[in-house]
Structure 1
Amino acid sequence: MSIDTTVTNPYLDSMRLETSDGAKYETEEERSELTQEDFFALLTQQLAYQDPFKPVENAEMISQMTSFSTAEGITQLNDQIGDMNALMSSSQALQASTLVGQNVLVPANTGHHSGDGIDGIVALELPTSNLTIRIEDETGQVINTIEMGDQSAGNVKFEWDGTDLAGNPVEPGNYIIRANGLQDGKATEPPTAVYANVQSVSLSNSLDGATLNLSGLGGIKLSDVLEVAEG
Structure 2
Amino acid sequence: MASPVTGAGSFVSTLPKYEELKKAAANPAQKEEMGQQAFLTLFTTQLQNQDPLDPVKNEAFVAQLAQFSQLEATTKMADSMSSMASSMQSDRLLAGTSLIGKKVATPNGSAELLEGSNIAGVVSAPNGADKVALEVYDSLGRKVFTQTLGRQAPGDIQVKWEGYNDKGERMPPGRYKVQATVSSFGKVTQVPISTPATVRSVTFNGTTNEMMVEVEGGGSVPLSQIKRVDG
Please state which band the TM-score falls in when normalised by the shorter chain. Answer: 0.7 to 0.9
Q: Which of the residues 172, 175, 180 maps onto 2:174?
A: 172
Tell me which residue corresponds to 1:127: 128
| Alpha-carbon distance in structure 2 between the residues aligned to 1:41 and 1:141 | 79
For residues 99-178 of structure 1, the aligned pairs below 5 Å read 99-108=99-108, 110-115=109-114, 116-165=117-166, 166-173=168-175, 175-178=176-179
Structure 2 runs not aligned, ≥5 long: 1-27
Structure 1 runs not aligned, ≥5 long: 1-28
1:111 touches 1:118 (CA, 8 Å); kept in 2?
Answer: no
How many residues were matched structurally?
Answer: 200
2:133 touches 2:181 (CA, 8 Å); kept in 1?
Answer: yes
**Identity level (%):** 25
More helix by share: 2
Relative to 1, partners in 2 of residues 1:156 and 1:56: Cα closer, same or farther, differing over 3 Å?
A: farther
Letter in 1 for 2:221: I
1:132 touches 1:145 (CA, 8 Å); kept in 2?
Answer: yes
Letter in 1 for 2:63: S
Runs of 4+ off more than 4 Å: 29-33, 51-54, 203-207
2:31 touches 2:72 (CA, 8 Å); kept in 1?
Answer: no
Tell me which residue corresponds to 1:79: 79
Shift of 1:206: 6.6
**TM-score w.r.t. length of structure 2:** 0.73
Relative to 1, partners in 2 of residues 1:75 and 1:230: Cα closer, same or farther, differing over 3 Å?
A: same
Relative to 1, partners in 2 of residues 1:56 and 1:182: Cα closer, same or farther, differing over 3 Å?
A: same
Tell me which residue corresponds to 2:188: 187
2:131 touches 2:184 (CA, 8 Å); kept in 1?
Answer: no
What's the secondary structure of 2:150's corresponding residue? strand
Relative to 1, partners in 2 of residues 1:51 and 1:193: Cα closer, same or farther, differing over 3 Å?
A: farther
Establish whether residue 92 from structure 1 lines up as the match of residue 82 from structure 2: no
Establish whether residue 216 from structure 1 lines up as the match of residue 217 from structure 2: yes
Letter in 2 for 1:197: T
What's the secondary structure of 1:128's corresponding residue? coil
Letter in 1 for 2:107: P
Moved more, 40-49 or 60-69: 40-49
Relative to 1, partners in 2 of residues 1:125 and 1:96: Cα closer, same or farther, differing over 3 Å?
A: same
| Alpha-carbon distance in structure 1 between the residues aligned to 2:126 and 2:94 | 34
| Alpha-carbon distance in structure 1 between the residues aligned to 2:63 and 2:33 | 17
In the TM superposition, what whole-angstrom CA distance separates every residue of 1:127-149 from its partner, at most 9, and x where no partner exists? 21221211123554321224332
**TM-score w.r.t. length of structure 1:** 0.73
Relative to 1, partners in 2 of residues 1:151 and 1:205: Cα closer, same or farther, differing over 3 Å?
A: closer
Letter in 2 for 1:43: F
| Alpha-carbon distance in structure 2 between the residues aligned to 1:207 and 1:180 | 29
| Alpha-carbon distance in structure 1 between the residues aligned to 2:126 and 2:210 | 30
| Alpha-carbon distance in structure 1 between the residues aligned to 2:153 and 2:31 | 67
For residues 197-208 of structure 1, the aligned pairs below 5 Å read 197-202=198-203, 208=209
Letter in 2 for 1:225: Q
Relative to 1, partners in 2 of residues 1:106 and 1:55: Cα closer, same or farther, differing over 3 Å?
A: farther
Shift of 1:33: 4.3
1:163 touches 1:170 (CA, 8 Å); kept in 2?
Answer: no
| Alpha-carbon distance in structure 2 between the residues aligned to 1:209 and 1:180 | 28
2:112 touches 2:197 (CA, 8 Å); kept in 1?
Answer: no
Relative to 1, partners in 2 of residues 1:189 and 1:218: Cα closer, same or farther, differing over 3 Å?
A: closer
